[in-house]
């Protein structure tokens, strides 16, 4: 499964505003796609209080769990602050893709920070 950076951004924005996942309508919360991206956010330490577990019995199922409070980590806040502006977000994705680069969290974070810094100074 590939990362959907727009879904990642949408989930982070939602968690920042609501401190929960319930009610998020950017993807089916029971879908493998949504659960995969929640797992990525947890593994990347952009969010706290949520994760994904998979049972290992005869009928494997994947479930999202939470241990409130749910929210963004310091790194999650930094990332979404730099990715919040729609124009900056679009420009970062286009320029990185245009350069033939892979869209990794480190590259995207660095480029968004560069664009934000340029906008300030």
pLDDT in the model for residue 101:
65
Distance CA 88, CA 66 (A): 31
pLDDT in the model for residue 58:
64
Domain of residue 22: give its range: 5-72
- 113-116-119 Cα angle (round to 5): 150
Q: 86: pLDDT confidence band, cut at 50, 70 and 90?
A: very high
52 and 21 both lie in a single domain: yes
- Could you report how far apart the first and last alpha carbons of the chain are, in Å? 39
* Global pTM exceeds 0.85: yes
C-beta neighbour count of 14 within 10 angstroms = 17
Mean pLDDT of the chain: 88
Residue 78 located in a structural domain: no
pLDDT tens profile 8-39:
999 999 999 999 988 898 888 888 899 999 99
Beta strand 47-54 pairing with 62-72: antiparallel
59 and 98 both lie in a single domain: no
């Amino acid at each position: 499964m590939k990362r959907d950076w727009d879904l990642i951004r949408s989930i982070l924005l939602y968690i920042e505003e609501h401190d929960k996942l319930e009610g998020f309508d950017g993807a089916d919360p029971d879908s493998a796609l949504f659960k995969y991206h929640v797992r990525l956010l947890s593994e990347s330490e952009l969010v706290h209080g949520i994760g994904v577990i998979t049972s290992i019995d005869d009928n494997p199922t994947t479930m999202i769990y939470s241990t409130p409070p749910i929210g963004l980590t310091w790194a999650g806040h930094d990332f979404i602050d730099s990715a919040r502006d729609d124009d900056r977000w679009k420009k970062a994705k286009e320029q990185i893709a245009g350069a033939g680069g892979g869209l990794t969290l480190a590259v995207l974070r660095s480029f968004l920070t560069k664009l934000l810094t340029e906008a300030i100074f």
